């Protein structure tokens, strides 16, 4: 049994296709198939049921795959230890970022990070929170940035910053408001991101805290803040935005921003990674880089953390 064979098994288990798995492992399909067959013969069992389309894991195969993940992770950890001992900070590092954070945070730190750590090949992917959790647990991401707490027992969270929600209220909706409280929110007027965004869950949690009924006639209208702002400017409602998103608004649009009174409803944004802490040295330099950049942009003290999970 070899680590290479286990990697091949994990690839097939992920893609449920020998040809695609071989491509991802940069080997020919016959080579990959032969190595998996050798492993099955050595163990005296079948890991995959090849008679089904698509192929499926056998019952014992499912248990082997789970153990293979642990073995491969520990093998990677050995290389990780060696690199840290040598002071080497480099290699591929795959990070997932949720859509409501990516457009504002990534431009703030990416250029500085790649300039400071040129040997790290940072691979950035955009995913929803649920996709991030799944990919971290499957070893398909090294780390992620998302709203927390997620309370996943096998994942570790390090808080990067706290970002307040702010109101976007065109003139016809302001009604003399200079500061917001949750009681000022009418869920029927709020334009929301499409279902599946944790930012939407946060807004609905704020509304529930103000004893409004979020099950009344709201619609999840858009996948982007830009569209929500455009709809609000057309008089179709109001919306809530993350604070960092407001920094790049036009001066005209900034006049529609209303902040919450203290304690400001805020989301906790964290760096998330598996508890096995593979590539922990890269996680740490990423944390340092982001924290250093954001610290100058957000300086709110009195906040109330809003859960990204719908309550």
pLDDT tens digits along 153-178:
999 999 999 999 999 999 888 888 88
Number of other CB atoms surrounding residue 14 within 10 Å: 15
How far are the Cα atoms of 159, 225, 259 from residue 263, in angstroms, in the given order? 19, 24, 11
* CATH code for the domain defined by 89-160+269-300: 3.40.190.10
Please tell me the pTM assigned to this model: 0.76
Q: Which CATH class is domain 3-84?
A: mainly alpha
State the greatest distance between any 2 C-alpha atoms of the chain, in Å, as a whole number. Answer: 76
Confidence of residue 212 (pLDDT cuts 50, 70, 90): very low
**Given this model, what pLDDT does residue 216 score?**
46
How far are the Cα atoms of 196, 227, 296 from residue 95, in angstroms, in the given order? 20, 26, 23
For residue 125, what are its two tokens?
């992917």
**Given this model, what pLDDT does residue 90 score?**
84
Confidence of residue 220 (pLDDT cuts 50, 70, 90): very low
Q: State the Cα–Cα distance between residues 182 and 37, nearest whole angstrom.
A: 61
Q: Residues of CATH 3.40.190.10 domain(s) within the chain?
A: 89-160+269-300, 163-265
pLDDT of 193 > 80? The answer is: no
The three-class DSSP label of residue 163 is strand
pLDDT of 218 > 60? The answer is: no
Question: Which residues are paired to 222 by β-bridges?
Answer: 193
Q: Residues of CATH 1.10.10.10 domain(s) within the chain?
A: 3-84
The dihedrals phi and psi of 208, each to the nearest 5 degrees, come to -65, -35
Pick the CATH number of 163-265 from 1.10.10.10, 3.30.420.310, 3.40.50.300, 3.40.190.10: 3.40.190.10
pLDDT of 278 > 60? The answer is: yes
């Amino acid at each position: 049994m070899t680590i290479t064979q286990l990697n091949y098994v994990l690839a097939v288990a992920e893609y449920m296709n020998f040809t695609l798995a071989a491509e991802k492992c940069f080997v020919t399909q016959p080579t990959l198939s032969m190595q998996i067959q050798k492993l099955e013969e050595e163990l005296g069992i079948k890991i995959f049921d090849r008679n089904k389309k698509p192929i499926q894991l056998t019952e014992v195969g499912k248990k082997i795959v789970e153990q293979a993940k642990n073995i491969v992770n520990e093998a990677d950890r050995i290389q990780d230890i060696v690199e840290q001992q040598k002071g080497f900070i480099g290699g591929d590092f795959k990070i997932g970022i949720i859509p409501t954070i990516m457009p504002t945070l990534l431009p703030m730190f990416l250029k500085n990070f790649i300039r400071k750590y040129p040997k790290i090949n940072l691979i950035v992917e955009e995913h929803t929170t649920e996709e991030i959790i799944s990919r971290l647990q499957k070893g398909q991401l090294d780390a992620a940035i998302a709203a927390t707490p997620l309370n996943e027992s096998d994942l570790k969270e390090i808080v990067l910053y706290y970002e307040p929600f702010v109101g976007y209220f065109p003139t016809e909706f302001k009604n003399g408001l200079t500061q917001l409280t949750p009681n000022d929110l009418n869920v029927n007027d709020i334009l929301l991101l499409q279902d599946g965004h944790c930012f939407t869950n946060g807004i609905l949690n704020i509304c529930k805290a103000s004893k409004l009924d979020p099950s009344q006639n709201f619609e999840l209208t858009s996948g982007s803040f830009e569209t929500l702002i455009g709809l609000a400017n057309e008089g179709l409602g109001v919306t809530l935005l993350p604070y960092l998103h407001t920094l790049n608004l036009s001066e005209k649009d900034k006049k529609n921003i209303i902040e919450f009174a203290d304690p400001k409803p805020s989301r906790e944004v964290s760096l998330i990674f598996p508890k096995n802490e593979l590539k922990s040295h890269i996680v740490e330099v990423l944390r340092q880089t982001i924290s250093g950049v954001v610290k100058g942009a957000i300086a709110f003290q009195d906040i109330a953390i809003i859960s990204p999970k719908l309550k």
